[in-house]
Amino acid sequence: MAAAALCATACQNASPSSEKVVEKPQVAVENGRFTPEVMWSLGVMSEYAISPDGSQVLYTLRYTDMEANKNNAELYVMPTAGGEATRLTVTAASEFSPVWADDENIMFCRGNQILAMGVKGKKETVVAECERGFEGFKLAPDGKSLVYISTIPVERPEHIGKLFAGLDKTTGRINEDLMYRHWDQWVDEIPHIYYVPLQNGKALMDKAVDILGGEPYEAPMRPWGGTEQYNYSPDSKLIAYTCRKKTGYDYAHSTNSDIYIYNVEDGSTRNISEGIMGYDQNPVFSHDGRMIAWESMERDGYESDKLRLMVLDLESGAKTDLTADFDYGVGNILWSADDSELYAVVSYRGMSEIFGFNRQTKAIRQLSHGYHDVNAIQMAGADKLIANQVSIQYPGTLYAYNLTDDKAEGTKLSSFNDDVLSQVRMGKVEECWVKTVDGKDMLTWLIYPYDYDSTKTYPALLFCEGGPQTPVSQFWSTRWNFEVMSGAGYFVIAPNRRGVPGFGMEWLEQISGDYGGKCMQDYMAAADWAADNIKQIDRERLGACGASFGGYSVYWLAGHNHGVKGYNEGRRFKAFLAHNGMFNFEQQYLETEEMWFDNWDLGGPYWDWNNPQIKKSYSNSPHLFVDKWNTPICVIHSEFDFRIVASEGMAAYNAAQMLHIPSRYLYFPDETHWVLKPQNSLLWHRNFIDWFDQWLKK
């Protein structure tokens, strides 16, 4: 009967390809150990949407077929009060960008189409098609139009284009400006926002309007921006959007984006954040249409500046910063039903929590509490929020929060991973406060081995965070997963060192221009504290690992791992692993793409030797200390990491080899700053465990 039912559903929602549908795997966990294979068997929930009446939540759920090295997402719907979920699609292609048309009908993207479906009948109809595809869309409040994201090609200048005449098979690239590649992609196309009217449930694509008017700018902004970077006004007559109207050299040196309002009726555009020099992004209209709120940074070139909660009165032009006396940044802004309060997610003391900001009184309240990260929030009626929430011990799950209860830990709604997680013995997570060398209190997460026995000793791994200004929070990741490390039999020491958000702006900003200073001392203080105070940690079996700035941290620690008192051979760490880390600052400065980043954090180009900040920053480049390397090191890097290019990892590995230091190089020719392909990720994890087992367990 189950097979027949599945067949009937599959026929009704026919897959647009002949590929096999990726189904939820059946998993039996051996000995309660959380392994990389178990982690990859879990469903991944990402996008979700609340029905207009607040009673239902529509979400995407993705599963992986490791053998086929692919995954795909399907659509599900469930009550916001909790209960059973209903699967809506069965296709080999992923559904994304789910939207409610009304309380009974939904819309979503698949491939190069926008489709509509009745939740009960599940019959699909095509709303729009686009040869270049869609990256997401939003439906107008009045249901008469939609705004979608698609791409336009970046045109070659005429004097360059003529050189390619008749050479349709050449792979050569010619550039005469900066920002020709970004994070993980060559800049051959850029996203634009299009407005298109609807008629009888169909988009009139021949009447679609590029609201940038063909300007050569990104909207939304790469690489993170999506549909959150634009919104309709309640009357559907205005579209507010985020754009950094710069290209090439100027784009590479500036973070100054703005909020623009496009008038649907006359095609005019105005800038409402002019004069604010940092990132302005993610605008949201109030329900009465009189106000607009957005996330705003003050300083140009500083991508980790505080995200302020800015509100503009559209009638008077008055701007108000509701976080002027609040020492933390905000994200994911929502208006309350009566527009008296705004809600946002805040990185706060090692967690991501929901806060409320009263527009009139300026009062601020914390709504959520607990050991978790709230990754996203949406309103469900007037008195409830639905959150996508994770912790170190569980992946993305739907939780409900009552707005009248500001002491709540949330009510769990979804259960799609419970059958697997119930078989796992997760390592205990403990909140510890460690004294730094200058007497500050530093939050450090201590994760215990899954098979913890207080009569035994275990090896431990110091986790070095990337960013560098990224919190070590209750995050869940398929790369740096603390419970996978726990499942492999390790303690994990994860400090919130200087430079991470959630502990005030002074703590956050101390790292800029001081990469080899207090933040490195914080790492060593956390490792020493754990070795001295947790008797079940074997102080002679400490390793260190990290990616990006964390990879830099590992390289730097490798050059300062000698003459340490209290450890055999004067070595605090007995093994290292660095992923996509900065190794040679001079090399990195001229190879990266977002120049504002190194200009802010390092102080500028290395050739400006009259600048004391330059001397301090570049003198802490890890390549200057390789003569002190004395510890086995594994280097991992990926070819399509344009942020920290692959030559950085190759140089570090080659240095270790020439010094006859035991070393290993894992190279991915088809990955980016992240390792995203399922089998590549599994190799990454197996290598990670094997490397540390070799040096810390034998």
Q: 415 an active-site residue? A: no
Q: Which residues of 314-423 form beta strands (DSSP E)?
A: 319-321, 330-335, 341-348, 351-358, 364-366, 373-379, 384-391, 394-402, 411-412
CA distance 103 to 109: 18
Which residue in this structure is represented by tokens 């994201």?
Answer: 149
Q: Which residues contact 444 (CB under 8 A, 6 or more apart)?
A: 432, 433, 434, 493, 494, 495, 496, 526, 529, 530
**Which of 286, 273, 276, 264 minimizes the C-alpha distance to 242?**
273
Give the active site residue among 184, 514, 522, 641.
Answer: 641
> Could you write out the DSSP letters of every residue in 617-675?
HHTT-GGGGGGG--S-EEEEEETT-SSS-HHHHHHHHHHHHHTT--EEEEEETT--SS-
Burial state string for 130-164 with b = 16 or more CB within 10 A and e = fewer than 16:
beeebbbbbbbbeeebbbbbbbbeeeeeeeeeeee
- Helix, strand or coil, per DSSP, at residue 522: helix
Burial state string for 600-616 with b = 16 or more CB within 10 A and e = fewer than 16:
bbbbbbbeeeeeeebeb
Q: Cα 321 to the chain's mean position, in Å?
A: 25
| Cβ atoms of residues 526 and 440 within 8 Å | no
| Cβ atoms of residues 7 and 101 within 8 Å | no
CA distance 274 to 310: 13
Report which secondary-structure segment, H or E, holds 682. Answer: helix 678-696
Tokens, residue 395: 């992946």
Q: 641 an active-site residue? A: yes
Which residue in this structure is represented by tokens 């809600």?
Answer: 343
Q: Could you tell me where the DSSP H helices lie in 474-573? A: 482-487, 505-509, 518-533, 549-558
Give the active site residue among 257, 473, 548, 621.
Answer: 548
**Which of 110, 109, 105 minimizes the C-alpha distance to 121?**
105
Give the active site residue among 182, 579, 673, 685.
Answer: 673
Burial state string for 447-470 with b = 16 or more CB within 10 A and e = fewer than 16:
bbbbeeeeeeebbbbbbbbbbbbb
**Which of 440, 494, 452 minimizes the C-alpha distance to 470?**
494
CA distance 269 to 277: 19
Cα torsion 302, 306, 307, 311 to 10°: value is -110
| Cβ atoms of residues 545 and 462 within 8 Å | yes
Q: Does a cis peptide bond (omega within 30 degrees of 0) precede residue 220?
A: yes
Give the active site residues.
Answer: 548, 641, 673
